[in-house]
């Protein structure tokens, strides 16, 4: 007895910035700048896998458009939080949270190192 091969659905080869079985989804960041240029868009799910390495930076977010917690700078390649090689927030009692220093009353600045008015 012969076994007929199973029918497999044809899958489109999507253009850059599109994903899905029928290329029905646009990648986060837009078709002209998928994953904001800081990651790879999954061809089936249109979910970005953000770059996270010391050369290209540590990116995060749905469209890889923000720095991963603990990293900052234009290229998200500068450690910001204590323990990651950056300057601490706590020069005047600040706390690292959500990608920024949160200063106590009376302190301000990117690292809580200035006196508030």
From 79, 94, 109, the end of a domain falls on 79
Instruction: Give the model confidence (pLDDT) of 31-52 as tens digits.
Output: 999 999 999 999 999 999 999 9
Q: What is the mean pLDDT of the chain?
A: 79
pLDDT given at position 26:
97
pLDDT given at position 10:
60
Structural domain for 16, as ranges: 1-79
pLDDT given at position 95:
72
Return the sign of the alpha-carbon dihedral for residues 62, 37, 57, 52.
positive
Do 56 and 84 belong to one domain?
A: no
Residue 79 vs residue 1, higher pLDDT: 79
Do 43 and 53 belong to one domain?
A: yes
Do 110 and 90 belong to one domain?
A: yes
pLDDT given at position 56:
93
pLDDT given at position 15:
92
Instruction: Give the model confidence (pLDDT) of 63-94 as tens digits.
Output: 999 988 777 778 888 776 444 344 566 666 67
pLDDT given at position 117:
42
Burial class of residue 61 in the structure, from the number of CB atoms within 10 Å of its CB (0-12 exposed, 13-18 middle, 19+ buried): middle
Do 71 and 98 belong to one domain?
A: no
Do 13 and 36 belong to one domain?
A: yes
CB neighbour burial string for 39-56, b if at least 16 within 10 angstroms, e if fewer: bebebeebebebbbeeee
Do 96 and 70 belong to one domain?
A: no
Residue 117 vs residue 72, higher pLDDT: 72
Taking the C-alpha atoms of residue 57 and residue 64, their distance in angstroms, rounded to an integer, is 11
Instruction: Give the model confidence (pLDDT) of 95-106 as tens digits.
Output: 767 667 777 766
Do 64 and 110 belong to one domain?
A: no
Do 24 and 37 belong to one domain?
A: yes
Domain count, the chain: 2
Contact 56, 38 (CB under 8 A): yes
């Amino acid at each position: 007895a012969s076994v007929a091969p199973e029918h497999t659905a044809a899958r489109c080869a999507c253009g850059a910035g599109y994903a899905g079985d029928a290329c029905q989804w646009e990648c986060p960041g837009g078709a002209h700048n998928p994953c904001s240029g800081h990651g790879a868009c999954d061809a089936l799910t249109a979910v970005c896998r953000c770059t996270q390495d010391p050369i290209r930076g540590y990116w995060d977010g749905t469209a890889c458009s923000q720095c991963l917690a603990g990293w900052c700078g234009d290229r998200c390649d500068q450690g910001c939080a204590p323990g990651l090689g950056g300057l601490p927030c706590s020069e005047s009692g600040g706390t690292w949270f959500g990608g920024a220093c949160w200063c106590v009353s009376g302190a301000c600045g990117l690292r809580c190192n200035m006196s508030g008015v």
